Chain A
Amino acid sequence: MSGENDAPGRRQDSLIFEITQRCNHACLHCYNAWKNEAPYPATEELSTPDTLAMLDKVLDETDAGNVTLTGGEPLLRPDLSDIVAHLNARHCEVNLITNGTLLDEATIADLSPDRISIFELPLLSCEAAVHDRLSGSPGAFDAVTLAIADLKLNGQVVVCVFVATALNLHTWSETVDLAFALGVDGIMFNRFNPGGEGFRNLDLLQPTPEALREALDVAQDLSVEYDLSISCSIAMPPCLFDYERWPGLTFGFCAAGTVDAYYTLDPAGNLRPCNHSMIILGNVRERPFWELADSRAMRDFVAARPDLCDGCRVADECLGGCKAAAEVCYGRLTARDPFLRAFWQEAKKLT
């Protein structure tokens, strides 16, 4: 009866690495952990050799085959190319989440060919004014569309992210048209999930379930018409959304506690359960990954459910929405996800 945690073959499929906290945008919906009211420890970026050593240690421990580089704006980090090259040398798939502003032809050429598996860029609206307002950066729309066009010209795989807020939902249908016209490979329809700056703009940005349902109807039709993959990655509570209505879309739940879990490393090597959460499990440079993944804090994170979910038959899959959002907004993992909190009266418990 040996310890099962040391069992050979234990692995984590993917990791998120926030390589910098700096950003050239000021998105209204930004959920970065360091944008929360509660203080996040000041984290300085490690030097390139230290960063690579940290990645080596974590990859050796987890055997992860996919690393997503995000930030902040990852392209603000001068050694991004070195980090990507190192991950490529370890045969890791690399996803890059960027706002596209700094993705010029030279950078794209530097990251081509096949060094990045998926480029993930925001396309918040088909209207430049709306996109720029949400991004907090004039000219962001032109920059991101140009970046997408450049990436596709270079044969890269591009996925666009549409963050569904009250400000841009009316443009959703045309935004899919635009994305399709630009030739993107997929679209992520993410409902606005408050946290950080987003929580401060909650009243401005929170969409209603009805508006989201209408947008999903549109997504369903367009995904079929264009043969385009549209996925809803931020958990849409099944008690508010009946997935059977949209068979052509893909819905995701919180992956905490699975090999698909979204463990996130900040620039200093602090490990968090996901990129939305600000719970620091510990530093991977100082302690083994699995020790942190099996820590009490992580167990509590996985086990936490809001009271609303008692007796729900899909509670194990859904995990009660986004508990990280609940925690950063209301201070408790067992609090209701801000979306559920706003619309729980409409929720129908699945028994």
Chain B
Amino acid sequence: MPYRAYHVALGVVGVAAVLVLVILRSNLDHHARTGPRWKRRVVNAGLLLLAALGFGPATIASCDRPDPAKSGYSYPEKDDQRRARRRPTLRADKRAAPRPNPPRPVTPRPHVEKRVVGTSAAGIHMEPPRPEPPKPPTPHLAAVPVKEAAPFTLITKSHDEAVAVVSGVMGSAPFDKACKKRMLAELLEAQASCDVLRKAGQVTAAEAALMKQRLARLHSEVARKRPEGRGAACYRPRPREPEAVLSLSRLTKRLPHLRRLAAVRRLHPDVVTKVLAALTRDLKVLQNNYELSRLKSDADRRRAARVAKQVRRQVDRVRKQLQRPPEVRPGVARSPQWKVFVKAWGEVSPLTDQSRRTTSAEHRAARAWLKSARQAAADLVTARLLTTDESQLLRVELARLGMLLGRNRPTDSRIRCYRPAPFRPRRNSKARLVKRQTILLKIVKRGRISKAVRDRVLPSLERDLALIAKPGTRGSRSLDDLLGKGQKTPPPRVAADPFVRQMRKLLARVKRLPTRK
């Protein structure tokens, strides 16, 4: 009954409205199709009632035509399309392009009033809405079969739509925010309609409860679905599409950077060589007639030839740069790695003094410091502050410190008497000098040494050299001397030791080497 009264009242008001519009000589058809929904409803109801009373044919417009702004199934607004076109070319990547409303599958979308007639890159184009046939006045709910009752139609419509959304077949973001809001509202309304049907005796209480339960579940499922977001793809890399034709501008822009990086030796020469090889291969594309024919115009082809020439010249320059000796950046002494090294040195050195008592804890700490100093020496090479040779020199020094530390055993540990000490100063010094000789020769050949490194290693080098050059030690005497068979005291062996002579000369050259900061 309330339904009938509502429609009768709507019809009466509609007739009044139509009469007013006729008096005002307004376009009835225009009013029936445009404007707010309530207006369209009233005008159409009036026209329908007049038609039923025999006053002319009803001009039924689609009063329920979904307003794209409200229905949720909105398609790209003009602004969105304009924005999409305005994007810079790097957004040419399809996935990176804005997706205000990506095309969605059409078939599993029940009760969507719009008809899709075609798609384009910008979105979906819609056919203009067609007028619907006139609707007969709604009879009393109890008088119609349940399948035709409006509340049941609403239930099935919202149910089917929700199932399509929840199933995932419509994509990751099956609706936009407005559509989600509408669907949730309709699902709530559908739940209320179950009660309406039950009260009208169309369904039993159990059936109504079952439907309500199902709709409630769908409501929560739909609520969980996310509306279309902007780039909802965390961690997804968005690379450019591989370029069919070489980008000339990119090629020319890349080379100055490469040249600069090669100049400061920021990149390993092998890396630069490989990049140059790749560029050279790209250059061949520019010389390939087929590829050139794919360029749009003769002007482009002339430009390609010009660019190829420039690129070849720049590639040659970078190659020449690679052949020059590496220049190490200044500022070793100020670098954090060097500070770590010096700090470690300062911490460990006092513990190598045999007149000092040391503990196991101090030894553990010293070993940790040595480890960090070794790391710092390696890092200085990585940071292009030292050469590998200089770093190796430092590591030899650290090994010496470690050996001296091992000699000075902690006094809080159990002292093992009678254990032969493996420490042989002369042999160790000689071994270290041999190792350093090779490194120093390389440094001398290069012609420069870091001042910080030189100052750090020279005292130790001279100490070792002095030790092996020291005459009159037992080790330097011959067996005959020791057995007392020798008639004369032989001259100190070291005086004639070519190694010591070589090392002295080498050290003198190292001292004369130009230094850098």
Q: A residues bordering B, Cβ < 8 Å?
A: 1, 4-5, 7-11, 13-14, 95, 118, 120, 126-129, 132-133, 138-139, 141-142, 145-146, 148-150, 152-153, 157-159, 161, 177-178, 180-183, 185-186, 188, 223-231, 233-235, 243, 247-248, 250-255, 257-262, 274-275, 299, 302-303, 316-319
In the complex, what's the smallest C-beta–C-beta distance from A151 to chain B, in angstroms? 9
A128-B383, A146-B274, A260-B172 known; A231 vs B238 contact (CB < 8 Å): yes
In the complex, what's the smallest C-beta–C-beta distance from A154 to chain B, in angstroms? 9
By size class, the interface of chain B is 35 or more
Contact A317 B226 (CB under 8 A): yes
Which B residues are CB-close (under 8 A) to A260? 172, 232-233, 236
Asked if B249 is at the interface of the complex by the 8 Å CB criterion, the answer is: yes
In the complex, what's the smallest C-beta–C-beta distance from B197 to chain A, in angstroms? 16
Q: Mark B268-294, 1 if CB is under 8 A from A, else 0.
A: 101110110111010000000000000
B105: nearest chain-A partner, CB-CB: A9
- State the CA gap A162–B397 with chains docked (Å): 37
Contact A1 B159 (CB under 8 A): yes
Q: Which of A127, A253, A303 has the most CB of B within 10 A?
A: A253
In the complex, what's the smallest C-beta–C-beta distance from A300 to chain B, in angstroms? 11
Asked if B382 is at the interface of the complex by the 8 Å CB criterion, the answer is: yes
B383: nearest chain-A partner, CB-CB: A129
- State the CA gap A235–B235 with chains docked (Å): 9
Contact B90 A251 (CB under 8 A): no
In the complex, what's the smallest C-beta–C-beta distance from A44 to chain B, in angstroms? 26
A-B contact pairs, 11 of them (CB 8 A): A120-B237, A142-B271, A146-B271, A183-B279, A227-B247, A231-B236, A231-B237, A252-B231, A253-B232, A257-B225, A261-B172
Asked if B169 is at the interface of the complex by the 8 Å CB criterion, the answer is: yes
Of B240, B253, B378, B382, the residue contacting A229 (CB under 8 A) is B240
Contact B266 A128 (CB under 8 A): yes
Contact A7 B231 (CB under 8 A): no
- State the CA gap A138–B374 with chains docked (Å): 11
Asked if B362 is at the interface of the complex by the 8 Å CB criterion, the answer is: no
Nearest 5 Cβ contacts at the A-B interface: A7-B167, A258-B172, A149-B274, A317-B229, A129-B383
Contact A299 B382 (CB under 8 A): no
B166: nearest chain-A partner, CB-CB: A4
A252-B236, A274-B234 known; A5 vs B90 contact (CB < 8 Å): no
Contact A316 B226 (CB under 8 A): yes
Of A159, A182, A233, A235, the residue contacting B239 (CB under 8 A) is A159
Which A residues are CB-close (under 8 A) to B147? none
In the complex, what's the smallest C-beta–C-beta distance from A254 to chain B, in angstroms? 5
Asked if B513 is at the interface of the complex by the 8 Å CB criterion, the answer is: no
Asked if B87 is at the interface of the complex by the 8 Å CB criterion, the answer is: yes
- State the CA gap A213–B369 with chains docked (Å): 39
- State the CA gap A9–B258 with chains docked (Å): 49
- State the CA gap A134–B253 with chains docked (Å): 29
- State the CA gap A302–B378 with chains docked (Å): 46
Other than the given A9-B169, A258-B172, 13 more pairs (CB < 8 A) read: A1-B163, A9-B167, A177-B257, A180-B250, A186-B238, A227-B250, A233-B235, A250-B96, A258-B173, A275-B235, A302-B226, A317-B232, A318-B229
Which A residues are CB-close (under 8 A) to B275? 149, 152-153, 181-183
Interface contacts (Cβ under 8 Å), in number, total: 216
Of A1, A11, A149, A261, the residue contacting B278 (CB under 8 A) is A149
A181-B261, A250-B96 known; A7 vs B238 contact (CB < 8 Å): no
In the complex, what's the smallest C-beta–C-beta distance from A264 to chain B, in angstroms? 10
Contact A233 B237 (CB under 8 A): yes
Q: Which of B169, B233, B277, B383 has the most CB of A within 10 A?
A: B233
Asked if B227 is at the interface of the complex by the 8 Å CB criterion, the answer is: yes
Of B90, B171, B177, the residue contacting A223 (CB under 8 A) is B90
A7-B167, A141-B382, A257-B226 known; A233 vs B234 contact (CB < 8 Å): yes
A11-B168, A159-B239 known; A132 vs B234 contact (CB < 8 Å): no
Contact B232 A258 (CB under 8 A): yes
Q: Mark B82-101, 1 if CB is under 8 A from A, else 0.
A: 00001111110100100000
- State the CA gap A261–B275 with chains docked (Å): 36
- State the CA gap A35–B323 with chains docked (Å): 45
B242: nearest chain-A partner, CB-CB: A157
In the complex, what's the smallest C-beta–C-beta distance from A170 to chain B, in angstroms? 14
In the complex, what's the smallest C-beta–C-beta distance from B270 to chain A, in angstroms? 6
Asked if B214 is at the interface of the complex by the 8 Å CB criterion, the answer is: yes
Contact A224 B382 (CB under 8 A): no
In the complex, what's the smallest C-beta–C-beta distance from B29 to chain A, in angstroms? 39
Of A139, A150, A181, the residue contacting B254 (CB under 8 A) is A181
- State the CA gap A233–B232 with chains docked (Å): 9
Asked if B419 is at the interface of the complex by the 8 Å CB criterion, the answer is: no
Contact B224 A303 (CB under 8 A): yes
In the complex, what's the smallest C-beta–C-beta distance from B101 to chain A, in angstroms? 14
- State the CA gap A22–B250 with chains docked (Å): 38
Contact B91 A226 (CB under 8 A): no
- State the CA gap A344–B275 with chains docked (Å): 44
Which B residues are CB-close (under 8 A) to A299? 224
- State the CA gap A149–B261 with chains docked (Å): 14
Contact B169 A255 (CB under 8 A): no
Of B169, B224, B379, the residue contacting A10 (CB under 8 A) is B169
- State the CA gap A211–B382 with chains docked (Å): 27
Contact A251 B231 (CB under 8 A): yes
Asked if B80 is at the interface of the complex by the 8 Å CB criterion, the answer is: no
Asked if B384 is at the interface of the complex by the 8 Å CB criterion, the answer is: yes
Of A183, A235, A250, A302, the residue contacting B238 (CB under 8 A) is A250
- State the CA gap A261–B235 with chains docked (Å): 10
Which A residues are CB-close (under 8 A) to B389? none
A230: nearest chain-B partner, CB-CB: B90
Which B residues are CB-close (under 8 A) to A225? 253
Asked if B230 is at the interface of the complex by the 8 Å CB criterion, the answer is: yes
- State the CA gap A11–B93 with chains docked (Å): 23
Of B172, B238, B239, B250, the residue contacting A226 (CB under 8 A) is B250
- State the CA gap A127–B383 with chains docked (Å): 7
In the complex, what's the smallest C-beta–C-beta distance from B376 to chain A, in angstroms? 10
Q: Which of A128, A139, A188 has the most CB of B within 10 A?
A: A128
Contact B274 A186 (CB under 8 A): no
Contact B382 A227 (CB under 8 A): no
Within B437-479, which residues are at the interface with A (CB < 8 Å)?
none
Contact A183 B254 (CB under 8 A): yes
- State the CA gap A1–B227 with chains docked (Å): 24
Which B residues are CB-close (under 8 A) to A9? 167-169
- State the CA gap A118–B240 with chains docked (Å): 11
Asked if B221 is at the interface of the complex by the 8 Å CB criterion, the answer is: yes
In the complex, what's the smallest C-beta–C-beta distance from A305 to chain B, in angstroms? 12
In the complex, what's the smallest C-beta–C-beta distance from B336 to chain A, in angstroms? 8
Of A120, A255, A317, the residue contacting B227 (CB under 8 A) is A317
Asked if B267 is at the interface of the complex by the 8 Å CB criterion, the answer is: yes
Contact B242 A4 (CB under 8 A): no
Of B90, B266, B277, B278, the residue contacting A126 (CB under 8 A) is B266
A228: nearest chain-B partner, CB-CB: B90
Contact A255 B232 (CB under 8 A): yes
Which B residues are CB-close (under 8 A) to A253? 229-234
Which A residues are CB-close (under 8 A) to B218? 4
- State the CA gap A170–B226 with chains docked (Å): 37
Contact B384 A229 (CB under 8 A): no
- State the CA gap A157–B275 with chains docked (Å): 14
